Amino acid sequence: MSSAAQEISSTSLVYSIAELPVAFGVGMGVVRKIIRSGRLPIRELGRRRVVLREDALEYLRSLPVARSAGEVR
């Protein structure tokens, strides 16, 4: 994990939509797809749309576990 990703993931209570690709290690398109699917709740904080750190962690924990190295892409 890059130092920027570690700093975001270890200190933030919320993530902006723009921070999620760094925190998750994926592209913005993947983040948008996850959000549109409804699997990651978006919250309103003032005028900002954010994802709670706990919701992000819960989403990541819900992902299937790869059974073997052959399943890793």
Q: Based on the structure, what is the number of domains in the chain? A: 1
Q: Which pLDDT value is given to residue 66?
A: 82
Q: Is residue 51 part of a domain?
A: yes
Structure token pair of residue 46: 């003032």
- Cα within 13 Å of Cα(42), Cβ side: 17
Which range marks the domain in which residue 44 is found?
3-64
Q: Of residues 60 and 9, which shows the higher confidence score?
A: 60
Q: Is residue 70 part of a domain?
A: no
- Is the pLDDT confidence value at 60 over 90? yes
Q: Is residue 72 part of a domain?
A: no
Q: Is residue 73 part of a domain?
A: no
Q: Provide the whole-model pTM.
A: 0.74
Structure token pair of residue 19: 């921070």
pLDDT in tens, 6-23: 555 567 899 999 999 999
Q: Which residue has the tokens 């309103």?
A: 44
Q: Is residue 31 part of a domain?
A: yes
Hey, how many other C-beta atoms are within 10 angstroms of the C-beta on 16? 14
Q: For residue 37, what is the domain's CATH number?
A: 1.10.10
